[in-house]
Structure 1
Amino acid sequence: MDFDICIVGSGAGASPIAYRLSQAGAKVVVLEKGPWLTEKEFFKDEQTISLHDAYNPSLTDEQHVIEEEYLDDNNESYWQGESTSESGWSWWNGTVVGGSSNFMSGYFHRLKPIDFRLKSEFGDIKGANVADWPISYDELEPFYAMVEKEVGVSGKAVKHPHQEPRSTDFPYPPVAELPVASWIDQTASEIGFHAIPVPRAILSQPDKGRRSCEYSGYCSSYGCSSGAKGSGRAALLNQAVASGNCTIKPNSKVYNIATNKAGEITAVQFYDAVGKRQQIRAKIYVVACQAVETSRLLLASKGEKFPYGLANNNQQVGKNLLFSGGGTGQGDFLYNELSDEKVAQLKQVGPFINRALQDWYQINDKQFAKANEGISPTGQAKGGTIDFLFHQNPIARAQGSQWQEDDNGVESLVWGEQLKQALKQEFTTYKTLRFEVFNDWLPTNDCFVSLDEDVTDKWGDPVAKVRIGFHNHDLEVGAFLAEKGEQLLTAMGAKNVSSSVSGYPSSNLMAGGCRFGNDPKTSVLNKNCQAHEVENLYVTDGSFMPTGGSVPYTFTIYANSFRVAEKITEHWQVLSQQS
């Protein structure tokens, strides 16, 4: 099976490559480990999503090993791994055609110019491997605009202190919003904050053969049954296949990228749906199977020229893995303290809140300096984003009601009448407004991917071992932002306001592991996401990012993939002329 372009993975990093190269006339094949599901399979079954993790592999078949840091009896730290089949901690994010982009919330904030030059702006941070990007915001900006049009982003550009430069407004008007959004706007204005509308990768009106949002209220973690959500499958792969130049092979688990003595890729090897070994040859190979699995595949693909794994002679593959720093917060609005009109507004289900704060995307604050003398004595630091949301769905809302805390703070399960009363209180007496904080997860030497020597998947291949060390700076910035979120909720009249930040990673927000840069000794890829050591290998998922910024990654992954698609098209055209 010979093709021009072979792509491993099918999500946000892969789908723009398949879309643009098939448009250009290249014969493209996409290898996806999971099944090919469509809108018909994305029904709104809460048990399927909330309790059964239905769109991901069973952990008894496919797992990871997660290494965490512990302290021994002498207060000295050590690292210990545990397989996810034992912990139950799934690190899969959507093993289907279109990948995790099928299940995202679609918060599509752009990075800002400062995100591309953290080291230049803030200098070295002890214990962190901060690096500037080899490209600028201006180089990526046209491709952000391209994503907004091609994938479908609904929103409205407004001026605020940290608004990034834009060449155009959004191509689709904002999706419908809950009245609570206006509460946030009003209170933010009163206390000197700047609430901004959140752009969403969700169509507010029908286009491109896709229906618009139907406001079921089942969005985050759910597949979209209308096709409105801008998944790689709905927005790009369907059109790539329609071109006649793109072949998608679902249920195809790639286990090796083979090379010859010269270090040239000769084939991609995979197991098909019945476990039979197959292989595909191509002119150009693209790996985009999400950060952890991309590093795992390259590390596992050893050859005579690459004894440490493909494109890994400088042993940079898997290093500088990124997640998202931050945390969460919440406040309760008690119905008995509100007017009937406001209670009715709180009870609405379906539309979105779509409000965020970015006033502290760059922190310059004396209080921050006082609290963090060892980290930021000047009070200047890279900050982040605060997004507001409801847990609309009943099971998500009910989670936690089964626990009751006694006077000593000890939690225990409740049953019967106690549980019924707890559920009644949850659904009839108040509504909880929540926020999520996104700030940089600094790259360190204690956050990386390697191969586990003992644990294998159902095919007998070594699984990825992920060390999840974090930098304390992430917690300090997250706590500063969370306090601002609490401040807004309190000013709105919320009760029981609280927040928390954590060094535990959110596994649906992952990047790094194959960072791009100009120096092969400290990076895996060049500025065009082409491997320094392998001319016809590109990596186009979030693995390329040297730093993650302070917003969810999917938008930037899409934009960079569209950018790299132009470079791959030029490369393919040269190869085609030569042959």
Structure 2
Amino acid sequence: MARKAKPERADVCIIGAGASGAAAAKVLTERGLGVVGLERGPWRTKETFGGDELANVNRYNLWPDPLLNPRTVRTSADEEARIELFCPVPQMVGGGTVHWQGWLPRFTENDFRPRTVIGDLPGATLADWSITYADLEPYYDKVEWAFGVSGAAGANVYESPRTRGYPCPPMPMSRYAKKFHAGCAALGYNSFPTPQAALSRPFNGRPATVVSAFAQQHGDPTGTRSSALNVFIPDAVATGRYDLRPDSYVRELTVDALGRVASAVYADADGDLVEQEADVFVLACGAVESARLLLLSRSGRYPNGLANGSDLVGRNVTFHEYSAAVGLFDDPIYAWAGGGYVSASSFQFYEHDDSRGFASGGHIACAGVGIPLPINWSLPDRPLWGPEAKRMDREYFNHSMAVAMVVHDMPQHDNRVDLDEKVTDAWGLPAARITLTPHPNDLAMGRWLIDRNAEILDAAGAHKTYRVYIDRITGNCSHQHGTTRMGDDPETSVLDRDCRAHEVDNLFVVDGGPFPTATGANPTLTIMANAWRVAERIADGHSAPGR
């Protein structure tokens, strides 16, 4: 690789331009700082989405190509790791928000103090967060109003206090949402419209979101979806202080004589090496890739990886797991319609309850297909091919719906991300290796929640119900947390409460890596809110006297 001349030094260098990196870029540039953004993937526009939609699912149009960007997985340190597309996130400007359904529930007050609420759970490394819901609530509000989130404040009776309501009313109700509400009501459960990163009405100069079956796992050819690509990136670019460089693959972070980060070394779109210097560095690569970059950044001062004197970088990783109960109805449901934009949820089983026999709980919601592929393709009694498979497709396609749940998988010290020295990517760098053993609590929670989901479908009038239980964490979800845990004690955490590395005072991490626990809800709203909070701290410190 040739090495190009160093570009001008930046105030802040953000590595990653997904949900967290884009949120931080918006805040920092609007506060007057010059920001260089280094994004590994392309910067795509709405015109490049659409067309052959199945390409998005099957031909790595949005997902990382495992031939170029392999990731390996094993269930224990004694097992040979296998290459697998585990917990993939689109590597492009906008990140996972390019393909999401945009479910944006807030965490609850108790999510920030699981050790206090649950107590000791053998085999798990439960820890209270070093910040509280009250610390984050103003930033939840900022993100919701920047995105124009559609929802109904107060409809979730378990939600924690809010500064104000949602900027837009709920999205229109689908047939499957009506079924879900009816089933919950029959059982005496609270349900509510899922808060969505979509506009139910024109907002802040943007038109209402076009509701399409092609939502999850697809880009938005209309440009009306609320996402980092459509909201935060344009906001940052509009300041004139955001130099976003796509197709820039960061290989390592170098350090100076004081042990601070000096530069990010990356391969640009031409394959040449570039060294970008900055005062402050912010990692926003996703929990897996941020940990990998820190571990790749070995030096004489940090022989085990940057900021890894505690050997905690990559540990306590959690991923969530989606699973569902599926119900078949006599009347048509059209679960493919709306792509999940018009969903409904319940936190009825979200908070911890000792009487259940397991710790914590999870968010449940009704689900459209979203890809779109038939829900019945996941049913255990459907053949993969032949006349019976075709019959089930014809008879079930418009008559099936799912009630899905998020498993709050428990953090464990030996569940980790490290480097696989036997497998390298297309740039010759070791792949991220994930070691993941499910905690018995994960499986017990998953089974119990699936049973509750099936009961809701039965109560809604399903004439047949399937339970799809989990026996492991498969990586079928794009939620990553925990590899750079935040905390007040450098012996038990990588970052402080402001997500600054304990060992490196100009290094911050703002993706899901800082989360001490996964919680039972979709994390992206909290990731963006926390990134906004941390960016304000960085801006305050950069403008402090003496700098």
Q: TM-score range by the shorter chain?
A: over 0.9
Q: Secondary structure of 1:362's partner?
A: coil
Corresponding position: 1:384 with 2:353: no
Question: Match of 2:73, SS?
Answer: strand
Indicate the larger mover: 156-165 or 304-313: 156-165
- Given that 1:154 and 1:201 are in contact with CA atoms closer than 8 Å, whether structure 2 keeps it comes out as yes
SS at match of 1:299: helix
Distance change in 2, residues 1:9/1:16 (3 Å): same
2:210 corresponds in structure 1 to: 214
For 2:4, the equivalent position in structure 1 comes to: none
Partner of residue 321, structure 1: 317
Distance 1:397 1:326, change over 3 A: closer
Question: Which of 364, 382, 385 pairs up with 1:414?
Answer: 385
Partner of 1:538, secondary structure, is strand
Asked if the contact 1:260/1:303 (under 8 Å) is kept, the reply is no
Deviation at 1:396, TM superposition (A): 4.5
1:398: how far off?
7.1
What are the equivalent positions in structure 2 for 1:176-255 lying under 5 Å apart?
176-255=172-251
- In structure 1, the partner of 2:481 is 511
Structure 2 gaps of 5+ residues are 1-6
1:336-368 CA-partner distances (Å, limit 9, x unpaired): xxxxxxx3x6478337442112112124364x2
Separation (CA, whole Å) in 2 of partners of 1:494 and 1:53:
36
TM-score (normalised: structure 1): 0.88
Query: 3-state SS of the aligned residue for 1:239?
Result: helix
Residue 11 of structure 2 corresponds to residue 23 of structure 1: no
> Of residues 391, 394, 410 in structure 2, which corresponds to 1:442?
410
CA contact (8 A) 1:50 1:395 kept: no
Q: Does 1:32 align with 2:39?
A: yes
Mark the CA change 1:332 to 1:37 in structure 2 (over 3 Å): closer, same or farther: same
- 1:210-257 alpha-carbon deviations (Å, 9 max, x no partner): 332111221111122233322212111111111100011000000000
- Note the C-alpha offset of 1:135: 0.8
- Verify the 8 A CA contact 2:308 2:494 in the aligned structure 1: yes
Q: For structure 1, which segment, 151-160 or 349-358, has the greater mean C-alpha deviation from structure 2 after superposition?
A: 349-358
User: C-alpha deviations, 1:387-439, integer Å up to 9, x for none?
Assistant: 101215554457459x976xxxxx6x434x55544433344xx5111021113
Cα distance change on mapping 1:239 and 1:458 into 2, 3 Å: same
Alignment-derived partner of residue 408 in structure 1: none
Contact 1:311/1:531 (8 A) holds in 2: yes
| CA separation of 1:313 and 1:210: change in aligned 2, threshold 3 A | same
Unmatched tracts of structure 1, length 5 or more: 70-76, 336-342, 406-410
Preserved contact between residue 7 and residue 286 of structure 1 (Cα < 8 Å): yes
Aligned residues between the structures? 537
Q: Identify the residue that residue 362 of structure 1 maps to in structure 2.
A: 351
How many Å apart are 1:507 and its aligned residue? 4.2
Which residue type is aligned with residue 251 of structure 2?
Y
The equivalent position to 1:468 in structure 2, one of 436, 442, 449, is 436
Q: Matches of 1:197 and 1:36 in 2, distance apart?
A: 32
Equivalent residue runs for 1:34-433 within 5 Å = 34-43=41-50, 45-69=52-76, 78-84=78-84, 89-325=85-321, 327-335=323-331, 343=332, 346=334, 349-350=337-338, 352-364=341-353, 366=355, 368=356, 372=357, 376=358, 381-391=359-369, 394-397=372-375, 399=377, 413-415=384-386, 417=387, 419-427=389-397, 430-433=398-401
| Superposition TM-score, scaled by structure 2 size | 0.93
CA–CA distance in 1 between the matches of 2:370 and 2:151? 21
> What RMSD, in angstroms, separates the aligned Cα atoms of the two structures?
2.1
> Equivalents in 2 of 1:319, 1:82: separation in Å?
19
Structure 2 counterpart SS, 1:233: helix
Verify the 8 A CA contact 2:28 2:539 in the aligned structure 1: yes
Name the SS for the 1:450 alignment partner.
strand
- 1:82-139: CA deviations, max 9, x gaps? 123xxxx354311110111111111111000001001011111000000000011111
> Secondary structure in 1 aligned to 2:167?
coil
* Structure-2 separation of matches of 1:318 and 1:164: 31
**Aligned equivalents of 1:440 and 1:32: distance in 2?**
30
Residue-by-residue CA offset, 1:553-577 (whole Å, 9 max, x unaligned):
1011011011111101012113xx5
Measured in 1, the distance between the counterparts of 2:128 and 2:373 equals 43
Could you tell which deviates more after superposition, 58-67 or 311-320? Answer: 58-67
Q: Alpha-carbon deviation of 1:23?
A: 0.7
CA distance in 1: counterparts of 2:126 and 2:132, whole angstroms: 16
| Distance 1:386-1:120 versus aligned 2 partners, 3 A rule | same
Q: Residues 87 and 476 of structure 2 are in contact (CA less than 8 Å); yes or no, is this contact kept in structure 1? A: no
Q: 2 CA distance for matches of 1:229 and 1:24?
A: 26
Identify the range of structure 1 (513-522 vs 480-489) with the bigger mean alpha-carbon deviation. Answer: 480-489
Larger Rg: 1
The percent identity for this pair of structures is 31
More moved, 212-221 vs 138-147: 212-221
Alpha-carbon distance, 1:186 to partner: 3.1
Q: How does 1:518-537 map to 2 (within 5 A)?
A: 518-537=488-507
Taking the aligned partners of 2:495 and 2:55, their CA distance within structure 1 comes to 38
Letter in 1 for 2:31: A
Quick one: structure 1 residues 348 and 263, their matched pair in 2 at CA, closer, same or farther if it must change by over 3 Å?
closer
1:13 aligned counterpart, secondary structure: helix
